[in-house]
Structure 1
Amino acid sequence: MNDGPNPGALWRRAVGRWGEDLAARHLQSAGLVVLSRNWLCREGELDLVLSDGDKVVFCEVKTRTGTGFGTPKESVTDEKIDRIRRAAQRWLQAHRVGWCRTRYDVVTVLAPAGAHPEVHHIAGAF
């Protein structure tokens, strides 16, 4: 019997959305411009697509409330990187962007209970 949405999954989704909001504000304060958020295609989802001068930046955001399952950066696996690269090509095609410079970044958000979140931007992470 299904009693509705899984509360743990809803909480994780809310934490992830909160981390993406923090990441977007952090990157905007550094001068980047958000072009897309949570863009979906058959290869997966792109958390943030931004412009940084003459570059299109595809940014994966990882938010954690602790490191019991590893650091946020450690969760960006080779398989995830491959999916992001494929999705990025789809985004460029869908938005009719010809050749351009691209960069792949990761923003990690570590937000332990009762502490201020730590936001780290890793430009050119992969």
Structure 2
Amino acid sequence: MTQARKEAIGRYGERVAAAHLRELGMVVLATNWSCKYGEIDIVARDGATLVICEVKTRTGTSHGTGLEAITGQKATRLRRLAAYWLEVHRVQPDAVRIEVVSVFVPPRGGPRIERVVGVA
């Protein structure tokens, strides 16, 4: 698979994930927010809770599922990114939650979405 195709699939997965979060009643505040520590795929608000969302998109399982890609190191990085986002934006939500949305794109049919709440 070419790099351009991987990037296109990733962008598609992020759009699917953002739409899914909106359907759940969340407000998407930012997508692909970058800073010196890395990138947050989606920043959303779920009531008074700030949600930091990592999106993993897969077209197959030969490299594991999207959820399996979240290692302890990745969770630590997401916590650091969340803290920095709060600092930069000077907000103090009631709570902060880290989620993972895994988007599986099969050869035929629509994407399948799995969401894990409270990662890290």
Instruction: Please give the TM-score of this superposition, normalised by the length of structure 2.
Output: 0.94
Alpha-carbon shift at residue 99 of structure 1 (Å): 5.6
Cross-structure match for 2:64: 70
Contact 2:29/2:44 (CA < 8 Å) preserved in 1?
A: yes
> Which residues of structure 2 form unaligned runs of 5+?
none
Alpha-carbon shift at residue 20 of structure 1 (Å): 0.4
Which of these residues, 18, 21, 33, is aligned with residue 12 of structure 2?
A: 18
Alpha-carbon shift at residue 10 of structure 1 (Å): 1.1
Alpha-carbon shift at residue 116 of structure 1 (Å): 2.0
Instruction: Please give the TM-score of this superposition, normalised by the length of structure 1.
Output: 0.90
Cα separation, 2, equivalents of 1:45 and 1:56: 16
Following TM superposition, the consecutive aligned residue runs of length 4 or more in structure 1 with deviations greater than 4 angstroms are: none
Alpha-carbon shift at residue 65 of structure 1 (Å): 0.1
Contact 2:104/2:111 (CA < 8 Å) preserved in 1?
A: yes
1:66-121 deviation per Cα after TM superposition (whole angstroms, max 9, x unaligned): 10110110011111111111111110011011363100111000112123210112
Cα separation, 1, equivalents of 2:37 and 2:77: 6
Question: Aligned partner of 1:25: which letter?
Answer: A
Say yes or no: does 1:57 pair with 2:54: no
Cross-structure match for 1:89: 83
1:24-76 deviation per Cα after TM superposition (whole angstroms, max 9, x unaligned): 00110110000111000111100000000110000000000010110110011
Question: Aligned partner of 1:93: which letter?
Answer: E
CA-atom RMSD in angstroms: 1.2
> How many equivalent pairs are there?
120
Question: Aligned partner of 2:112: which letter?
Answer: E
